[in-house]
Amino acid sequence: MADDVTGPAAPVSRGRGRRPADEVRADVLRTVGELLLTEGMAPFTFERVARASGVSKTTLYKWWPSKGALALDGYFHAVENTLAFPDTGDVRADLLTQLHAFARLMTRTPGGRVLTELIGASQTDADLADAYRRLYSGHRRRLAGERLRRAQEVGQIRAGVDVQVLVDQLWGAVYHRLLIPDEPVTEDFVTALVHNLLDGVRGGPAPTG
């Protein structure tokens, strides 16, 4: 999990013979994730990744068109397990678990700073913007929507509620505080966010007012 990273990646030993491409790629992504979550984006370069992973810059450029695209791919793989969506049957508990894990990653590790830097860079890097939508935001919106739809099917969320709007309300509020840091992302904020929203959309008669 991303929170367990304690130091920069050591160079990967290549051993004898040519390794399968999938194995090399996995090593690169692991190295990139560790570098980002320990050092942040400032020192991140293709040269830094090549030294740490033992993979040539030529190979890195063949697989990733820009520094941002490489960083985003490695970041996503580093945080994927931390940000998994649980499904215990209790959507309130599951949202609290997931959003608290997200908030901790964003505020207690370099992950939050890295993500905001990647979002900013995506405004001028078309390859990064595409990778962000494909690997991160689109994927996470789909997972969140699927979990909320399952809750809707069993009556934990009122029928007719647009679950994708709920996704924007929940995670969008956290992103807002990350990108416009006039208020902090705290445990109390996340808890209140989930309770306030679900108390308004839980199953039962629709409000008349």
Q: What pLDDT, in 10s, does the model give residues 109-151?
A: 888 889 988 998 889 988 889 889 988 898 889 999 999 999 9
Residue 20 lies in a domain: yes
Distance CA 55, CA 17 (A): 14
Residues 55 and 108 in one domain: no
Residues 84 and 177 in one domain: yes
Percentage helix, strand, coil, to 5, in the chain? 65, 0, 35
Residues 7 and 37 in one domain: yes
Number of domains in the chain: 2
Residues 36 and 89 in one domain: no
Q: State the CATH number of the domain containing residue 186.
A: 1.10.357.10
Distance CA 27, CA 114 (A): 20
pLDDT of 8 > 70? The answer is no
Q: State the CATH number of the domain containing residue 19.
A: 1.10.10.60
Residues 36 and 55 in one domain: yes
The residue out of 49, 70, 91 marking a domain boundary is: 70
Closest CA to 170 of 78, 113, 100: 100
Residue 206 lies in a domain: no
pLDDT of 97 > 50? The answer is yes
Residues 145 and 194 in one domain: yes
Question: Buried (b) or exposed (e) across 158-193, using 16+ Cβ within 10 A?
Answer: eeebebeebbeebbebbbebbeeeeeebeeebbeeb
The residue out of 39, 70, 101 marking a domain boundary is: 70
Residues 154 and 191 in one domain: yes
Phi, psi of 3 (to 5 degrees): -65, -15
The residue out of 28, 50, 70 marking a domain boundary is: 70
Residue 209 lies in a domain: no
Residues 106 and 59 in one domain: no
Distance CA 172, CA 165 (A): 10
Residue 175 belongs to domain spanning: 79-201
Residues 55 and 88 in one domain: no
pTM, entire model: 0.78
The predicted structure's pLDDT at residue 23 = 95
The confidence band for 60, taking pLDDT boundaries of 50, 70 and 90, is very high
Residues 37 and 59 in one domain: yes
Residues 92 and 194 in one domain: yes
Q: Where are the beta strands (DSSP E) in the chain?
A: none
Residue 108 lies in a domain: yes
Residues 20 and 110 in one domain: no
| C-alpha dihedral sign at 77, 75, 2, 27 | positive
Residue 7 lies in a domain: yes
